[in-house]
Structures are given as structure tokens and as C-alpha cells.
Structure 1
Amino acid sequence: METNSSGKNFCVILAGGKGRRLWPCSREKMPKQFMDFFGTGRTQLQQTFDRFSKIIPPERIYVSTNQVYAHYVEEQLPELPVENILAEPIYRNTAPSVAWACYRIYHHDKDANIIVSPSDQAVFNEEAFHENVLNCFDFVKKNDCLLTMGVKPTRPEPGYGYIQLGEPTELADLYKVKSFTEKPERDFARMFMESGEFYWNTGIFLTKVSYLLYCFRQILPLVLNPEDVFTMEDELAFVKENFSRYPNLSIDYGILEKSDNVYVFRCDFGWADLGTWHSIYEAMSKGDGDNVVLDSEVIFEDSRDNIVKLPHGRVAIINGLDGYIVAEEDNVLLICKKGDSSALVRKYGSEARMRYGDDFV
């Protein structure tokens, strides 16, 4: 049920990534967003869809993905209209993905407001999340701007992006954005957290579709002209032929960090990015020895600060291990120092591909 009476709110869920930072459990054939990674009974994509469908009806929710993953979206979200799956013909970053979604939504409703969200996040207080989202929609409905959702840091996390609060507005918890910093060193992350001026960048933002299309015109080639009207069949054929003309550019770097008209709303819903082993470890509740076990059977002895994920039917006996990732899927077992490990995991995945072939990634 939608609780905002405007009837013009749309959602775009970004679900096209390969999930390389959670290799070997996340594979190119089955990235993390399509997996029930935590044994909850719902995949990350399904949980994200569930969260937004309580605010926005399914016919106004769009999922952006790659064409090789479109069948997963159809299978996992049968309530989503098939025409709301934007299946890209080649891999690009998030700016082209959102540009196509904006074109599609603009032709449904030129006055639409949109919220754009990754598909691999945890929200710990959904009631607060819904209230924050509706407050943000109310603001962008009345203003030509970009509005990001920020969450107060709970630890000096170097794997997240940070937003520096600028001048306050007349509205509570709403500030101009002074700066963005992507994945700082841990010492800087600690300084940011202690200053009270910086919030985690959730990667969720809201705006009017017409304003975002205006922003895109400043940085992207005019591939899909909002004034052009295609049939669905012709639009898909055009995208297949022309999508490669878009640069490989993220929405954060291309739009949010380049714009002067960006605001941040201080949110209080509790949040975690579930895109890396380290961030999952930090976000999850810890067992004995501060170990984290993800839907697996493990016996620990004299071991601390580890994160473990195994296939069902496997049992791990771990003795004397401190601060490691132990992850197994199919034909790969990874044992790697946890730390800030996303770069290492990507490196090992690439090396496995070069040495042993695509079947190992």
C-alpha cells in the first residue's frame, strides 16, 4: 500500500552487478543479489523489492539488470510487470542504467519523482525507513534537486562512502551537501566519524525524473532522447543497438559529486552495505569469539573474528584461525585475511580466471 497521495512516485532498483567482491560465493552466473545469502528465505533483490513495495506499488517499481540476469528477476519477482525489467545488452555502470530507467519512467509520467536504490543493502528499522523515504519524496516533489539519504556512522568503516554535511536548511535533518568522499583510509574514516559532520552514503537518492534527465544531458551523450517516443519493441531494439554509446560512469561520480544542487537527509533507519565480506562481518551479530557464520555449520576452537560461509551439507572444523574469511562455493575455497579485503578478493578472482578459466568465477 502506498502511503503518499501524490501517485507520482517511482522506484528504480539497481541489480546488474557481478558481485565480484563476494567471490567465490557470488559468481558471475549467480551474483549475490539473486542469492539467499543469509538463509532468510528471500534473496537480497527480493528483500529490497519487499521493502519498497510497501511504499510504492509494483507497477511503478523498475529493476535494472543485465540481460543475462533478467530471468532471475522474472523468477524471483513474479509480481513485477515484465516490462519493468530493464535488461541491458552490455555491462555499464549505474549512470547509463538510471538514464534508461528515467527515459522509461518519463514516458509514463513526466511529473514523476523517483527513488534509486542498490539491491544489496540491509535496513534494520523498516518503519523508520518508510517514514524517511516519504519525507524525502515530499521534498523533491517541491524542489529541483538531488536528495541523498545519509546514515550516521557507527564505526570508522573505510569501505563506505561519506557525505559531509553543509549548511542546514529550514527543514529538520536536511542539509546541503558540502563534499563526498569515497572509501577513505581508516584513519580518515575515524576522523570523519568523530567530527559528527560526515554521514555514510547509502547510495539511495531521490529526485524528479525531469530534473535528473536535465542533469544527464550535462554529462552523457543523448542516447535516449526524452522527446523521442518508441513502441516498447522499438525502444528495446534501439537500446540493443545504441547502449554501448554510454560511457562506463557511475551515478555517484557522474551526477551526485558533480552537482551543486545536492542535499542530504539525515536518516535513522539503520543501514549496512552487504557488498563485501568485511562489511557483512561488521554488520552481522557475532557469535562466540566474535565469529560470524552465514547459513553454515561450523565448529570453532581457539578462533576469533572470522566470517565463514559454506555450501549446505558441509561442516567446517576451524582451529587457531584469527581474522579470516573462509568461503566455499562449488569449485573454489577461499581462505583470506579479512581486513579491508574487497580489493584482494577481486584480485584473487581475476587470478583464478586467468589460471583456471571462467568456470572458477
Structure 2
Amino acid sequence: MNNNYVIIMAGGVGTRFWPFSRSTNPKQFHDVLGIGKTMIQQTVERFEGICPRENIYIVTSKEYYDITKAQMPYLNDDQILLEPNRRNTAPCIGYACYKIAAQNPNANIVVAPADHIILKEEEFRKRINIALHFSAKNDVLVTLGIKPTRPDTGYGYIQFAESEGDIKRVRTFTEKPNAEWAVKFVESGEFVWNAGIFIWNVNAIKKSFEAFLPEMAEAFEEIKGDFYTDREEEALNRAYPQCKNISIDNGVMERAENVYVVLSDIGWSDLGTWKSLYEISEKDENQNAIDAHVMLYDTKNCIVKTPKDRLVVVNGLDGYIVAEYDNVLMICKKEDEQKVKEFVATATSRGKEFV
């Protein structure tokens, strides 16, 4: 287990979850489910028994150092990796993997987002351990695949080749298909959702960076002697401008031929939108999901999340999001939640304090 490491990606802003998720306090640092733990705290705890706590690395932005340290005080500063700027997931993962490689060339690594929901945590650990045993002994890149419950166009899809056992060779990746193709994918039974959770040994992922993102590989290889020293920040400022702004999916996973998927039924949600929170939340007899001090009249199919110290009265709504945090209240039809990014753009022009 001492060779097992976990990288948790926690630098995103979560714009689609505005106004709850804000640039100064994004959703991974919130108790979204109202259970007394933030999403990133839940994510860290999920890996207990998979790797030692000293092998957990958080990759985030400089502005989130204080909140990361406050929520996980047991992490030392070498475990909190601060990106100079956001350049998508490939540089984020590359930085963490090359840093871990400088300490342990036998590292076996899990990469996970900080803001996903896993309802079946024991089953999740079983699936991760299956993947880790496989990646420890083979030159492979592994991802978890979630059996789709609907033809959702908001997820990436993985087509796998039929074979015995839980580990399948990946045939194709398709990023967010249109509705017609999503229906075909689900009906075929050959596709799973891409959970964005990856497992590999450090040598396999370094070889993949060298093959598919050579400039990025070179940038991190050049500064490997600066990791775990007081020169690390300065070295990163030199390396990051050489890193392409690209996701690990587009940069590596879609191009590699040694990719496998572990089929998983783990109660997964990426919790990227208000609709996804509504779907996993408990609901009252009128299908309302409530996390608020609220009085409802003639209201159904709504999600209401507002401060507990404010009484909210809602009358006559069907299928709405009612969300308040800090100085912003949003009332929006659930079916129009894709407009949230538009709302954020307009709110930005009103002042940084609103985003």
C-alpha cells in the first residue's frame, strides 16, 4: 500500500453550480449534501485503506491554499500542489505525477476529481483496488466506467471490447455526443460513462506523456530536481508556459492504445450541475429537493438550497432551481440550467463580488 498514491484535482471553479460555487469558494470546498463534510473532505476519506494519508496529493490553485489547509490540516505543504495557472487536466496531472515520480519511481497512482459523489463507497474501493492491482504489474492506463442509466449528452462515453472479467480493453472514447448518438450508445450495451477517475503506474503515465505530450513531459522532467525544495514554485513558473492547455482525455487517453476500463456500479455522479444534485437528493412527496428553511405552497419538482438562517416562502413553482448563497439569489427553470454560465458572465460585469 505504501506505493499507492492518490492525486485529487481541486482547482476548478464549478461555474455551472453558481451562485453556490464561487471563484473565491468553489463547490469542492462546500458541504453540498448537507452532511457535515465538504466534497473534498469526503473525497479524501474515500481513499482510506487504499493509500496512506501522506501519499494523498491535492492539486489546486494558489488562491485555495488557505481553505485547503483549513479543511485538511493533516496535509503538509508538499502534499498541496499549487498550479501557477489553470491549464486543464493534463498539466495538473503531469505536475503531480512527475513530482511523485521524483520521490517514488514505483508509485501506483489514482487520479480523481474533488467534486464527485460516490454513494457506494465500499464498492468504489473494490473497483479501485482491482484497477491498482492491474496497473501495478502492467504498462496500462485504466479508467473507471459507469454503466449509463440514461442517454445523457453531458458525459463522455467509453466503448469497450467484450472479454471475461471486470477489466475491458477500451476501443473508443466519445466526448459528449449529441442526443441521437447517446441513445444509440446506451442501447448498444457497449458503452459506459467516463467517470474521469484514472489509475496507472508512474512509469506508464510518463511514457504516455513522452509519446503524446512531449513538450509537457520535457518541461516537468527538466525541473524534477526542484520538487520538494524551496525552488519548486519558481521552477513551476518556468514549466507551465510550456504546457499545452489540454485535458488528459484529449491529450493522452483518446490517443493511447494501452487503455482499459473497469466496469463500475458505484452510485457515481459528477455533481456538475443543479440538475445532477436534484437527481441524487432525497425528495418530498411533491418531488422537491430541499436544503433550506422553507415554506412551500403549490410547488413541485423543485430544488431549493438557501441559507438555513433565512425563511424562504415559495408559491406556485414547478420545476425550478431556487438557490441563494452569500449575496446572490438565483431563480431559474431546471430545464434552463445551461444558462447559468451566461448568468455568471453577466454577473461578472456587475462586480467580482458576485462571482
TM-score, normalized by length of structure 1?
Answer: 0.92
Deviation per CA, 1:324-345: give whole Å up to 9, x if none: 111111221111121262x311
The 1-side partners of 2:108 and 2:254 are apart by 20
Letter in 2 for 1:285: E
Deviation per CA, 1:64-90: give whole Å up to 9, x if none: 000100111111111222211001121
Task: Tell me if 1:146 matches 2:141.
Answer: yes
How many aligned residue pairs are there? 351
Letter in 2 for 1:302: D
**Residue number in structure 1 paired with 2:286:** 289
**Residue number in structure 1 paired with 2:321:** 325
Deviation of 1:92 (Å): 1.7
Letter in 2 for 1:242: A
Deviation of 1:132 (Å): 0.9
Deviation per CA, 1:163-211: give whole Å up to 9, x if none: 112242x5x1211112222223344333322322111211101011111
3-state SS of paired residue (1:300): strand
Task: Tell me if 1:102 matches 2:97.
Answer: yes
**Residue number in structure 2 paired with 1:258:** 255
Q: 1:18 aligns with which of 13, 20, 27?
A: 13
3-state SS of paired residue (2:225): coil
CA 1:212–1:352: 2 relative to 1, 3 Å: same
Deviation per CA, 1:200-234: give whole Å up to 9, x if none: 21110101111111211222522111684225112
CA RMSD of aligned residues (A): 1.7
Q: 2:208 aligns with which of 170, 190, 215?
A: 215
**Residue number in structure 1 paired with 2:32:** 37
Q: 2:274 aligns with which of 273, 277, 285?
A: 277
Q: 2:44 aligns with which of 24, 40, 49?
A: 49
TM-score, normalized by length of structure 2?
Answer: 0.94
Q: 2:234 aligns with which of 225, 234, 237?
A: 237
2:102·2:224 contact (CA, 8 Å) conserved in 1?
no
The 1-side partners of 2:60 and 2:313 are apart by 38
CA 1:188–1:316: 2 relative to 1, 3 Å: farther
**Residue number in structure 1 paired with 2:182:** 189
Deviation per CA, 1:36-88: give whole Å up to 9, x if none: 12221110000000101332111111000001001111111112222110011
Equivalence map 1:123-134=2 (5 Å): 123-134=118-129
CA 1:239–1:321: 2 relative to 1, 3 Å: same
Deviation per CA, 1:108-132: give whole Å up to 9, x if none: 1111110100011111111111111
2:6·2:110 contact (CA, 8 Å) conserved in 1?
yes
3-state SS of paired residue (2:257): coil
**Residue number in structure 2 paired with 1:358:** 352
Deviation of 1:313 (Å): 1.0
* Structure 1 alignment gaps of length 5 or more: none
Letter in 2 for 1:288: E
Deviation per CA, 1:18-50: give whole Å up to 9, x if none: 111100111000000011122211100000001
Letter in 1 for 2:296: F
The 2-side partners of 1:75 and 1:319 are apart by 39
Identity %: 44
Equivalence map 1:49-128=2 (5 Å): 49-128=44-123
2:223·2:235 contact (CA, 8 Å) conserved in 1?
no
3-state SS of paired residue (2:187): helix
The 1-side partners of 2:181 and 2:250 are apart by 20
3-state SS of paired residue (1:25): coil
2:223·2:239 contact (CA, 8 Å) conserved in 1?
no
3-state SS of paired residue (1:16): coil
Q: 2:168 aligns with which of 164, 175, 200?
A: 175
